[in-house]
Amino acid sequence: MQDTKNILPLFWKHIENSKTKTAKKIYNWLNNDNLNAIQLDGDIFWNETTNSSTVMPDYVYNYIKKWGISLGYKYLYDIPTIN
């Protein structure tokens, strides 16, 4: 593993600057301390919720995934495994 860094603050800025209805819903969800981190290791990223009982709505999951991919990163769970 390379140096892992939390890019959640970058996502917060993105959401705060977005004016869409979806971004406002995501902002409200984030504001309840549901997401602990969006970890980035090299060019691979993944989400970490604050605890195992936190449920991430599909609209949040999909938005974060598309946002990360738009920055040129790969989502960890989209990488094929080697058999």
Q: What is the pLDDT of residues 12-36, one digit of tens each?
A: 999 999 999 999 999 999 999 999 9
User: Which pLDDT band, with edges at 50, 70 and 90, does 82 fall under?
Assistant: confident
- Its pTM stands at 0.90
State yes or no: pLDDT of 1 exceeds 70. Answer: no
Q: What are phi and psi of 34, to 5 degrees?
A: -90, -25
Q: What is the pLDDT of residues 41-55, one digit of tens each?
A: 999 999 999 999 999
Tokens linked to 4: 């892992």
**What is the rounded average pLDDT for all residues in the chain?**
94
Identity of the amino acid at 51:
N
